[in-house]
Amino acid sequence: MKLHSAHKKPPTRAIESSDQKLLVSRHEAALRLSISERAIDYLIANKQIATRRIGSRVLIAVTELQRFSRRDHPESVAS
């Protein structure tokens, strides 16, 4: 005789601290670089920061943010 549980638990989601994430949202990228989301959009549009699309989400690799933060930036981010 099989026992059916009427209430299945949803799959658990791995909870990672923001320091361990590989990809972050535009909002989180802006927070990490201490700039506005509009400045992030400008950097993306001018191909200074590469993005990845997963479905409709625009995500940025943490390594890409680290690479960007190490470069010299003589010009202003947005005009």
Q: Give the domain ranges of the chain.
A: 23-70
Chain segment 3-21, per-residue pLDDT in tens: 655 667 666 665 656 568 9
Which pLDDT score is estimated for 18? 56
Nearest one of 67, 63, 66 to 22, comparing CA atoms: 63
pLDDT tens digits, the chain, 79 residues: what are they? 556 556 676 666 656 565 689 999 999 999 999 999 999 999 999 999 999 999 999 999 999 999 999 987 666 665 5
Which pLDDT score is estimated for 8? 72
Nearest one of 36, 30, 27 to 65, comparing CA atoms: 30
Whether 77 contacts 40, CB under 8 Å = no
What six digits make up the tokens of 7?
A: 């209430």
